Amino acid sequence: TTPRAAVAKLLLLEDDPAIARTVIYALERDGFTVQHCLLLGDARRALKARSFDLLMLDVGLPDGSGLDLCREVRAQHPTPILMLSARNEEIDRVLGLELGADDYVSKPFSPRELVARVKALLRRSAMAPAPASRATGGFEVDLAGQRILLHGVPLALTRREVRLLGALLRSPGRIHSREQLLEAAWGDDSDSTDRTVDTHIKTLRAKLRQVDPAREYIVTHRGMGYSLELHPI
């Protein structure tokens, strides 16, 4: 299972070329592929173009804050995020973790320490056997491709079903009312009703069962709505 981790693709957002060089050198020596962006805007474009196994985000950038990108990514994707920031920026550290960053290193950091943190995060998010996270119970959201995979198998979902399942996946275990799910998947399309949600949940369940017949992922809470239950993988 370790060979997978060796080809992990990482995104580095860092405007200091010297720091970036050191980080890239250390990571590439360890077999990682690193795409480097100097600006927030470049990183946003890179994230739209492809998916990454882990993101390393500097906080202070010429065109904004890496914390903003952290929040944007976390709102829709479980990719591990490691924040990089200047020494003693306690507020950044707290904010970063509140916004969903998985770990944090303060500058100056040794390349060896960074590589160790990266490896720990990748292990934690369970690179093997597919780049699906243990924390997400075998689900993998491929934002760029607008796909969701279960145990490495792409689910045959419509655009709406992707949004519906995506909404449930963002907070596993939480009960989502039909109204909330309508909002998430249909926006303000007034033709849709609670029945629309029920119908799509039914289809979604059938599609999940095609990949994993043994388990029930979507739980009905009578009179309240639906939740997504994650199973250990």
Specify whether the CB–CB gap between 159 and 167 falls below 8 A.
Answer: no
- Closest residue to Ca ion, based on beta-carbon distance: 60
> What's the closest the beta carbon of residue 203 comes to Ca ion, in angstroms?
46
> What's the closest the beta carbon of residue 21 comes to Ca ion, in angstroms?
14
Provide the 8-state DSSP code for 175: P
> What's the closest the beta carbon of residue 26 comes to Ca ion, in angstroms?
18
Euclidean distance between CA atoms 218 and 208, whole angstroms: 9
Structure tokens, 83? 């924040």
Specify whether the CB–CB gap between 102 and 78 falls below 8 A.
Answer: no
CB nearer to Ca ion: give 26 or 37.
37
Does position 58 interact with Ca ion (CB under 5 A)? The reply is: yes
CA 180 to each of CA 83, 100, 197: distance values in angstroms, whole numbers, following the listed order? 31, 22, 10
> What's the closest the beta carbon of residue 102 comes to Ca ion, in angstroms?
20
Does position 89 interact with Ca ion (CB under 5 A)? The reply is: no
Taking residues 107 to 146 in sequence order and writing x for each that binds Ca ion by CB under 5 A, - otherwise, the string is: ----------------------------------------
Backbone angles phi and psi of 157, in degrees to 5: -110, 150
Backbone angles phi and psi of 162, in degrees to 5: -60, -45
- State which of residues 9, 15, 97, 163 lies at the interface with Ca ion (CB under 5 A): 15
Structure tokens, 14? 């860092």
- How many residues bind Ca ion, per CB under 5 A? 3
Structure tokens, 126? 């369970």
> What's the closest the beta carbon of residue 115 comes to Ca ion, in angstroms?
20
CB nearer to Ca ion: give 14 or 53.
14
Could you tell me the maximum CA-CA distance found in the chain, to the nearest angstrom? 57
Closest CA to 160 of 184, 179, 194, 185: 185
- State which of residues 41, 60, 111, 172 lies at the interface with Ca ion (CB under 5 A): 60
> What's the closest the beta carbon of residue 212 comes to Ca ion, in angstroms?
43
Does position 42 interact with Ca ion (CB under 5 A)? The reply is: no
In the complex, which residues of this chain contact Ca ion (CB under 5 A)? 15, 58, 60
